[in-house]
Amino acid sequence: MAFDPASKQHEGGKAFRNLDNSWKALDGIKNSRGLYQKLVLLFLVVGINIVAFYAFSSFLKGQEKDSRHGYSPDQLELKQLGISSNILIVKLGQIKEELRNTQEQLQMAREDLRNTLDQLGDLTRAHLTALQSDPNLEKLSGFENRMPDSAELLTYIEPRKLPLGWNPSLNSDTMTSSVGHRCLEQKEDIKRFMDYAVGGVCPDDEALAQKLLLAGCEPLPRRRCFAHIPSNFSEPYPIPRCHWEGPPDGSIVWTAYDCKSFECLNTRAKRKIFADCLDCFDLNGREKNRWLFESNQLAYTIQEVLDLKPTGSIRIGLDIGGGTGSFAVRMREHDVTIVTTSLNLGGPFNNFIAQRGVLPFFMTIAQRLPFFDNTLDIVHSMHVLSNWIPTETLEFILMDINRVLRPGGILWLDHFFCLRPQLDIYVPMIKRLGYKKLKWGVGEKLDRGRELQEMYVSAVLEKPLKRS
């Protein structure tokens, strides 16, 4: 121990025996001053040893004396060193008492908690029982009954507990996968869509997926199968080559389309086939010149539209129903990033847009735009926002566009189509947005004859910075 550095004894009991010997040896040399100092040091260490001994052996075992050594620490004359072991013992006794009280309180708290949990359990059971007799619950179980009889679909939509428990950001301990409620009205189709070997290759059913989307089953459920890969996929060409050169036929799964090649798609216009965006796949035709040169009261160039705003303030945006993505490609030349929404109606529009090095979003016009409020600099739509959309739906769409446009952002309505009498519906609807008209043009569409009273409206409108 410390008072005898040479000593290799590390046990309390042996130290005390050692001390006993030292005590006797020191009896005859009390008059030596140097020795007295050593003695003081010795007693200090002895005192600490005794306290330690009390604290860790006899005290905790509730023993007053250490009988194993035939020795009582009380017998030591500690008072000589100004240390009162009695005081220490009293203090330790008090601590022991406090510990015992704390233990009792802890025990009581534990019982309280158990009672509370029991009561909570009872309440929950009572609540569930009440719910089950609630007529409103029939709606819930009715919902279950209306589910298509597909185990994989049920697996998909079943709410699941988060593995790490409550997530404060989600404010939930559960994750729910969503599908549009209209899926329930498409029982046979959604059942077929979810009928596949889990972990296997998905059925080649792009047409079915799009049919479901168009019937309002949007978003579609995810599937645990491997999506089809085209027969001979080629790496895309680098920018700018890819902008104006479509992918090879082998990069497309053609099953869903009447045409089985780009050659076929490019000649649709000549063959007088009815389809949307008839000549859009022909990148050497009309596509090449759009928004570049022709400028009149209905057709504006990208340059003149961008010039309406401070240089560089238009950077990101959306093209609704953007065909094969030529608008996004042209905007990219001005360092503007455009997302193009498109379906694959009659042709592989999404693959084609992606191959051109711009972003396709595969979604219908019925879905809420997947952007946050006040975020986009520009929303453009050509031919798509027109009188074929139910009036109320169109109003919802315009208000959703307003939501995602940032203040000062622009809505470019490009060739909005309607009949002359319908201008009385659509012009006030557009005006209700309260946007500033940066460009505005109304013109006749004459290619099928004046008597049809077909009209176009083109406008570049600026969202206000404030709404009072």
Ligand X SMILES: *[C@@H]1O[C@H](CO)[C@@H](O)[C@H](O)[C@H]1NC(C)=O
Q: Which residues bind ligand X (CB under 6 A)?
A: 232, 234, 248, 250
Give the phi and the psi of residue 263 in degrees, each rounded to 5: -55, -45
Q: Beta strand 174-175 with 160-161: parallel, antiparallel or unpaired?
A: antiparallel
**CA 366, CA 368: separation in Å to the nearest integer?**
7
CB-nearer residue toward ligand X: 80 or 232:
232
Supply the minimum distance, in Å, between the C-beta of residue 388 and ligand X: 37
Say how far apart CA 308 and CA 190 lie, in whole Å: 47
Closest to ligand X by CB, 221 vs 246, is 246
- Mutual angle of helices 391-404 and 423-431, in 10-degree steps: 20
- Residue 7 vs 234, nearer CB to ligand X: 234
Shortest distance in whole angstroms from residue 323 CB to ligand X: 24
Q: Residue 245: CB partners within 8 Å, gap ≥ 6?
A: 237, 283
Nearer Cβ to ligand X, position 101 or 232? 232
Query: CB within 8 A of 381, min separation 6: which ones?
Result: 319, 320, 321, 322, 412, 413, 414
CB of 231 to ligand X, least distance (A): 7
Q: How far is the CB of 357 from ligand X (least distance, A)?
A: 17
Please, how many CA atoms are within 13 Å of residue 207, restricted to the half-sphere of its CB? 9
C-alpha 209/C-alpha 221 separation (Å) is: 10
d(CA 145, CA 10) in angstroms, rounded, equals: 77
User: What is the closest distance, in whole angstroms, from the C-beta atom of residue 247 to ligand X in the complex?
Assistant: 8
Smallest distance, ligand X to C-beta of residue 232, A: 4
Nearer to ligand X, 121 or 250 (CB): 250
Q: How many helices (H) and strands (E) does the chain have?
A: 13, 9
Of the two residues 203 and 236, which places its CB atom closer to ligand X in the complex?
A: 236
